[in-house]
Structure formats: C-alpha cells, structure tokens
Amino acid sequence: PMPDLSNAEISIEGEYGFCIVCGESFHWEQLTNTEAGSYCDNDAPGDWVTETVLTVAVMGGEDWQMWIDALDEAGVLADGAKTTAYTYIGKELTWPIYGHATIGKAKEDLDRATVAIKESTSALNGEAYVSSLNAVVTQASSAIPIMPLYISALFKVMKADGTYEGTIEQIHALFTENLYGDSPRFDDGGHLFQNYKELEDDVQARIQTVWDSVTTATIDELTDYVGYHNEFLRLFGFGIDSVDYEQDVDAVAPIANMID
C-alpha cells in the first residue's frame, strides 16, 4: 500500500518536482516511446514517502486552495463563484498510476482542497469541484508510463465511434453540460464526470484488446499513434502543414502596442 502521510515531516522548501512511484508491485509490459514510436519493457520503482509528499506538493490542491483564499481575502469573488480543478483518473488500465501511485495521493489532496474551498467560500455560496476529464496529449502525459500507448488506443476507438473530442471541445462540453448545466453528471467520487464516454465498458474493453496484442510492428494499425504523435508535435508548434519549417525566422519581431 501507499504510505500514510499523516505524520510525515519532510521539508519541501525551495525548488522541488514530482516522481511517479507505484504503491503496488507490478511490471509495465508496454511503455510507448513517443519519439521512436515503439514500446519497451520497464519496471516501475518502489514507493517512497518523500517522493509522495513532493508529488502532492506539486500536483495536489494546495496551490488551488491558496489562490481561492487569496481571491476571497481580496474581496474579488462574486456571489455564487465556481471553481474547478481538472484531473484525470481513468479506469483499470491506468489506476495503478493515477489511482494508487504517488499521483493518486495528489489527487486525493485535490479532493481535500475541494472540501476546504467549499467551506471557506460558503458565505458567498461558492462552489468547488474536481472535474474528471478524458485522457489528452500533453507534455506531462507523454512522460507518464503507459499513457502514450493508452491514449493512442483510446483515440483509435473513440474516433471510430465518432465520440472523440479535442481538448477545446471537451472543456466546452464540461462548462455547458456540467459546470453550468442544468443536470450535472457526477462520478462515484463526487467529481464532475466529463470522461464518461472514455470510461464506457465497451470502450475500455476494446482498448484492453489492443493493449494485449499490440507490438511495435502493429502499433500504427491497431492504434492511432500517428494522430497521437501529431498532437504531441503540435504542442510545440511542429507538424503543421501550413508552416514551412525550412524558412528562416526572425526571432525579433515587433508587436503592436507592446510595452518594452
């Protein structure tokens, strides 16, 4: 099991980062190399209290709570103000990392912050939620074991079903259907449940089928790794057909109304 942090006394002053440590012993058989387009074998390390505390500090709800407290103290929150933190939890395939690992402890801290924010803004009828979203391509998710392969398989299934949503479409749906919708949808953990399409049993079963059979030779056939990789490149401004990357670029460009 993951360590009990209730009595942990660890200094985290200065700069610190996070580490993905799993609270159960397992072997990831398929980790996709985003750059090479292949998968490899890898063992996840054992757990450490220190790394868990640091991960909670980076990815938990403390900063969110501090921001809302500061806005409240400054008197700039409107009556009925709503705030939400985005999270990804997933299901069986991703639970060992997102549910039970150091990241899972950080997500528990988001839930703690939700309760604290609701209490601190109760006089304003404030609302605070954690929003559970679909897996998306980010610089962070690309570095997390198993996620490139999982997302590639997810894209293949959801695009075939016509249920795929880009990041903008997903957040638009979150606001219209859930955050400001008449009948918000919640998961069992009390989060706004925006990733319900991803977590449908049929979708997860088809991803599992791909997961059990994919190889480097079949990754482009069985998954949408090409689509995943294109989205990854676009995070950094690459892979855009309308851009000629062979042209010289002037790094110093004047911007109208820019104040030096």
Render pLDDT for 73-96 as a digit per residue (tens, 0 to 9). Answer: 999 999 999 999 999 988 888 877
Residues carrying an active site annotation: 98
State both tokens at 59.
């990815």
Q: Give yes or no for residue 6 having a pLDDT over 80.
A: no
Q: What is the pLDDT of residue 165?
A: 94
Q: Which domain holds residue 94?
A: 27-234
Question: Does residue 13 lie in a domain region?
Answer: no
CA 97 vs CA 34, 46, 54, 259: distances in Å = 18, 12, 16, 45
pTM, to two decimals: 0.78
Question: Does residue 197 lie in a domain region?
Answer: yes
> In total, how many domains does the chain have?
1
Question: Does residue 252 lie in a domain region?
Answer: no
Q: Give yes or no for residue 27 having a pLDDT over 50.
A: no
Question: Does residue 130 lie in a domain region?
Answer: yes
Contact between 185 and 137 (Cβ < 8 Å) = no
The length of the chain, given as a count of residues:
260
- Count of C-beta atoms within a 10 Å radius of residue 246: 5
Q: How many Å apart are CA 162 and CA 155, to the nearest integer?
A: 10
Q: What is the pLDDT of residue 20?
A: 47
Q: Which of 37-46, 114-123, 195-204 has the lowest mean pLDDT?
A: 37-46
State both tokens at 100.
């039970």
As a whole number, mean pLDDT of residues 188-205 equals 96
**CATH classification of the domain holding 201:** 3.40.50.720
Question: Does residue 163 lie in a domain region?
Answer: yes
As a whole number, mean pLDDT of residues 102-112 equals 89
Question: Does residue 111 lie in a domain region?
Answer: yes
Q: What is the pLDDT of residue 48?
A: 62
Q: Give yes or no for residue 244 having a pLDDT over 90.
A: yes
Q: What is the pLDDT of residue 158?
A: 97
pLDDT digits (tens, 9 = 90+) for 112-155: 999 999 999 999 999 999 999 999 999 988 888 789 999 999 99
